[in-house]
Each structure stands twice: as structure tokens, then as C-alpha cells.
Amino acid sequence: MAGEQKQQLFKEAMGNYPTGVTVVTTAAANGEPVGLTVNSFASVSLDPLLILWSIDHKVSTIQEFVKSGKFAVHILAGDQQDLCMTFATKGVDRFSTCKWSFSPEYNLPIIEGAFAVLQCNTFKTVEAGDHTILIGEVDDIQINADKDPMLYHRRHFASIPAEFYNTNK
């Protein structure tokens, strides 16, 4: 199969794989918060508690993430669609559009309203093609039980519909 055709099929297959959405943040060396929308997030290990996500080498803040050695993963709630778009849009002052503060324990930028927040130390980075995989050891977990997570599929964002639970009995 030709390389271009294979890449097209890869995009179609992966774009149809439903995921949640996260925003991952860290503090740059100058103290400024940085962050981006990420759906490559996945669970890796229970002992120790490890998760991963991958960052495109083209992302402007990749060095900040590699150098800081820690990051916070926000598992977005269904009602955070604007946040999801803002943190994927270039040239926007992302943190001026949301309520956030630095966590006292880790000095990581924590955005309000997520379904869950995992504060992590970088366990390992792995170079993989045009991305770098960041594996994080989870140090702190906060869950907002009043919220539902966001679903992402074929470039659509939504809360999980109530019917979903009825059809799986």
C-alpha cells in the first residue's frame, strides 16, 4: 500500500476511535502557565501509577513540557467545549479565558471545572516519530463527582448521552 494512502487510512481509523479530551498544563521556566488540548492520553500502569500522552514536535511549548519535569492532566467535563477549543487554537491568550491558579503542592496551573485532575512528575520521555511520549507518575488525583467527562469523536465534542447507559444493560 502506498505511503500516502496508508496515512489517509490511518487518519480515518484513528479519527473514528472515540476518546475523552484532556488539557495538559505545566509552568514554563519564566513562571508562565502553558497548556494544550490533548486526546492521546492513556492509562499505563497501576504500580506505580503511570499515564502517558504524546506531544507533537511542532507544538510551541514542547520544550517547556520536557524541561519542567511535571504536568497536570485535566480530564475535561462535558460542558468544557470552549476550553477544549481555546487550548487547541494558536495565537490566543489561553489562560486569560479561564479560571485557574497554581497548585500549592506542585506549582502546576490548575484550571477549574474539569471532571478530574492528575498532577504528575515526568517518569520518562520517549521519542516516537514526530511526537515525544511523556509518561507521568501520578502524585495527586482530584475528581469532581458533580461532573461528567467529555466525549470526542470525529471532531465532535459532547457529554455522554443518557441513552448510552440504557443501551448497555
Ligand X SMILES: Cc1cc2nc3c(=O)[nH]c(=O)nc-3n(C[C@H](O)[C@H](O)[C@H](O)COP(=O)(O)O)c2cc1C
Q: By beta-carbon distance, which residue lies closest to ligand X?
A: 40
Q: Which stretch binds ligand X (CB under 6 A): 48-56, 106-114, 117-125, 133-141?
A: 48-56
Q: For ligand X, give the closer residue by CB, 53 or 106.
A: 53
Q: Any contact of residue 36 with ligand X (CB under 6 A)?
A: yes
Query: Is position 26 an interface residue for ligand X (rule: CB under 6 A)?
Result: no
Binder of ligand X out of 5, 16, 60, 167 (CB under 6 A): 60
The answer to whether residue 55 forms part of the interface with ligand X (CB under 6 A) is yes
Determine, following the binding rule CB under 6 A, whether residue 125 of this chain makes contact with ligand X.
Answer: no
Judged by CB under 6 A, which stretch of 71-79, 85-93, 104-112, 113-121 contacts ligand X?
85-93
Please state whether the peptide bond connecting residue 48 to the residue before it is cis, i.e. omega within 30 degrees of 0. Answer: yes
Report the interface residues with ligand X, using CB under 6 A.
21, 36-40, 53-56, 59-61, 87-88, 90, 152
